[in-house]
Chain A
Amino acid sequence: MAEITGAAPRVRGIRETYLAEVRAKRLANLVLGVLFAVLLVGGFVTADARNAGGFWDGLHNILDFPADVIGEAWERAHLLPGYLLKYLPSLIETLNIAAASTLIGAMAGLVMSLLVTRGLAPVGWAVGPLRRVLDILRAVPEIVIALVLIYLLGGGPVPAMIAIALHTVGALGKLFSEVNENASLKPVEGLESVGANWTQRMWLGVIPQVAPNYLSYALLRFEINIRASAILGFVGAGGIGYDLRNTMSWGQGKFDEAAAIFLLLFLTIVVVDQISSIARDRLTHGARRGEAML
């Protein structure tokens, strides 16, 4: 009996501290929420003020341009198949830029990722500096490198390819090294014990373990790179983005052709997204099944 009466005040004390903590947490959350809302609204107002046209003035015009494009495309719908065919080579160029840069970037990223994974790296002291290199490659937007290279090499697909490939090295290098960290070291040790050199250890001991994840990440990168390559075309690096800018030039818009390009770009992105999503699912799913079998 005495024990219970002694415990009651203690329980009350715990209860009060708990409630106080909850109140403090709620207050902190409220303050954070208000701060966030203020930032969001303030940011919107600032952005609105610094924009050439205001949000509320432009809002009712937002459908004008799509309506123009669709209207013009509708009027000349019979020309659309011809346009789709006409811009197919540019689309292929855009896809080639994306594919080549993903391929080159993934291969370089693979090597980089092995060099920056602790435990696998052949040169220990180089891990830190090489990671910084990857950070910088990742931080530079593709457009920066592309614009500089366009100045040096002239317009065309090569500057875009180099720019996207460099960014891909940074992005995939990091993701691959995260995958490598989870790889089992047993095969590597086994290979080392029979005298395999570093290349052989990596090629036969690590890569087979991580290849499905690598492929999955590389496919995701390919999706991203298609978009990037279209955008870089818009600033003069060839491909379908370049054609889009030409058809869209203010004043003499050829909106029916622009519509065809929009359509091509949209379909490409959706189709590649779907295919790569299925493929990635199978890759990771297959890997899971492989693990279960072990």
Chain B
Amino acid sequence: MTDATLHTAISARFARKRLLSFALPGLVLAYLAYVFVAFDIAGLGERVSLANAATLVRDTYSYKTHVTRDNRDASVEIAIEGERKGQYAPGTAPAWVTLPEGADGDTVIDLGKGHVVTFGAEAVTYDIPGYGRIVTTPGRGGVDAELPPGPVPDWISVSKNRLAVTTDAGRLTVTRNRAEVFRYALGWELFFFTLDSPYHAMGWGELASRAMDGEAGAILSDFWTNSMWRHGDVAWALVETVLMAFLGTFGAAIIALPLGFLAAKNFAPLGALRFAARRVFDFLRGVDGLIWTIVLSRAFGPGPLTGSLAILLTDTGSFGKMFSEALENVDGKQIEGVTSTGAKPLQRYRFGVIPQITPVLLSQVLYYLESNTRSATIIGAITGGGIGLLLTQAIITQKDWEEVSYYIVLIVLMVMAMDTVSGWLRRRLITGGGA
């Protein structure tokens, strides 16, 4: 009889378990299917911009130099990434460009692998090995392109007013008003010095010897004020971001500690006060950092202070809650012991309570410091401050993906460094201080 009841009970349990082990994955799958439809993931294929992806990937490890001919006066300009700050001074050029000797000579651009583009007085020609010579004579009537006989390959697009040739050596675009050649090269251009700096073309050895001769300051300042990469600004942005995290976290901890006492059952005898303090914490946490950031940026404008205060407000709520919970878990015996020596209330807190909760609080605060470095990056992207702002700017302008990758690397390094520092401090202060 008992066996039979046991049997039915166990069978029922097994049935439930079996149902659960099928229903749970089923539910997850159903939800994912719903998300798949709701987010239109099937339509994602059409929205993906492969061209964007290709530029992004190529740009992160290479750069291009533009050689541009103004077809109206046949003048030639050479600029790295086509930017003013990367422009070669008139009369100077990279080794692969031969500038004309006289007033109306040819500019010869060697793209490598036998590809040669020539900017003549009238015509622009492109010699492609294995294909032939493309001659264009841009003028008022169009680009007037002459291709070698045969069908037009798909890497050439030609019309009356525009010719575009894309090969693995480079790219040539001719319109009525200008002809432009892109040549790609590996690396991050002008990372250390811009072209206007005298140290641009120097090797490490010469730089080192010049630094020894007393030019270290000038070299550093040329590097620091590099207008292409703005190392000085980037360093400041990193400092601002870390500053936001630091001020926000520790400011919140300092404010939350006394408030935590108010919200702890065993320290605040007044129920109403405790209730009020807890609701304040809930409110501060519930109004998310995003909303605090928006509200504060209206009052203080964009910058690191706004970010610090936004982190401070949100974390005061989190810390207040955590601190009050930690305070409720303190051991009463230590406090009794301190009281028995005739300690006054303040001394009781100082010697009976604080030593007990310090390790818990410190470890939480330091953990937040690391996580807030990430929040500060995000807040910076919203309010405009720190490395987050630089990153969004670089992405919005959509031309310098090497800068974007540079910033991403810096952000990852910064967060990891903060993680290491906070971990080190945690070990030092907690195990060292407690032992």
* A residues whose Cβ falls under 8 Å from a Cβ of B: 36, 39-40, 43-44, 46-48, 50-55, 58-59, 61-62, 64-66, 93, 96, 99-100, 103-104, 107, 135-136, 139-144, 147-148, 151-154, 156-158, 161, 227, 230-231, 234-235, 241, 244, 248, 262, 265-266, 269-270, 273
Contact = CB atoms under 8 A, between A and B. Distances in A.
A136 B305 CA distance: 28
B28 interface: yes
Contact of A235 (B44, B244, B286, B381): B381
A36 B374 CA distance: 22
Contact of A147 (B48, B306, B391): B391
Contact of B295 (A65, A158, A266, A270): A65
Given A50-B236, A154-B47, 13 more contacts: A44-B247, A100-B31, A141-B374, A144-B411, A147-B392, A151-B49, A151-B395, A151-B398, A154-B49, A230-B290, A262-B291, A265-B291, A266-B291
A136 B374 CA distance: 12
A43 B309 CA distance: 12
A105 to B, nearest CB: 13
Contacts of A153: 44, 47-49
A100 B32 contact: yes
A268 to B, nearest CB: 9
B283 to A, nearest CB: 8
Given A55-B300, A227-B288, A235 B295 contact: no
A147 to B, nearest CB: 5
Interface string B255-296: 000000000000000000000000000100111111100111
30 contacts: A44-B247, A47-B304, A47-B308, A48-B305, A50-B305, A52-B301, A55-B305, A58-B299, A64-B298, A65-B298, A65-B299, A66-B295, A96-B39, A99-B31, A99-B35, A135-B419, A136-B412, A139-B411, A141-B374, A141-B375, A143-B381, A152-B52, A227-B290, A230-B288, A230-B290, A231-B290, A234-B382, A235-B392, A262-B287, A270-B286
Contacts of A46: 243, 304
A244 B288 CA distance: 13
B382 A139 contact: no
B302 interface: yes
B246 interface: yes
A43 B312 CA distance: 14
B163 to A, nearest CB: 29
Given A47-B240, A96-B39, A273 B408 contact: no
Given A44-B247, A144-B411, A158-B41, A62 B299 contact: yes
B53 to A, nearest CB: 5
Nearest to A144: B408
Interface string B38-72: 11110010011100110010000000000000000
A47 B303 contact: yes
A141 B372 CA distance: 10
A151 B301 CA distance: 27
Contacts of B388: 141, 143
B290 A43 contact: no
Given A43-B247, A62-B296, A148-B395, A52 B286 contact: no
Contacts of B287: 262, 266
Chain A interface main SS type: helix
B251 interface: yes
A156 B303 contact: no
Nearest to B307: A47
Chain B interface main SS type: helix
Contacts of B411: 139-141, 144
B238 interface: no
B79 interface: no
B404 interface: yes
B378 interface: yes
Contacts of B289: 227, 231
Nearest to A262: B291
Contacts of A50: 236, 240, 303-305, 385
B155 to A, nearest CB: 24
Which 5 A/B pairs are nearest by Cβ-Cβ distance? A51-B303, A52-B301, A53-B301, A51-B305, A65-B298
Given A151-B52, A152-B48, A231-B382, A51 B285 contact: no
Given A96-B39, A141-B374, A58 B301 contact: yes
A143 B56 contact: no
Interface string B404-420: 10001001100110010
B351 interface: no
A61 B48 CA distance: 44
Given A99-B31, A139-B412, A47 B305 contact: yes
A90 B404 CA distance: 30
Of the candidates B48, B290, B381, the one having the most CB atoms from chain A within 10 angstroms of its own CB is: B290
B415 A152 contact: no
B349 interface: no
A113 to B, nearest CB: 18
B250 interface: yes
Contacts of A65: 295, 298-299
B377 interface: yes
Of the candidates B243, B305, B375, the one having the most CB atoms from chain A within 10 angstroms of its own CB is: B305
A139 B415 CA distance: 6
B412 A140 contact: yes
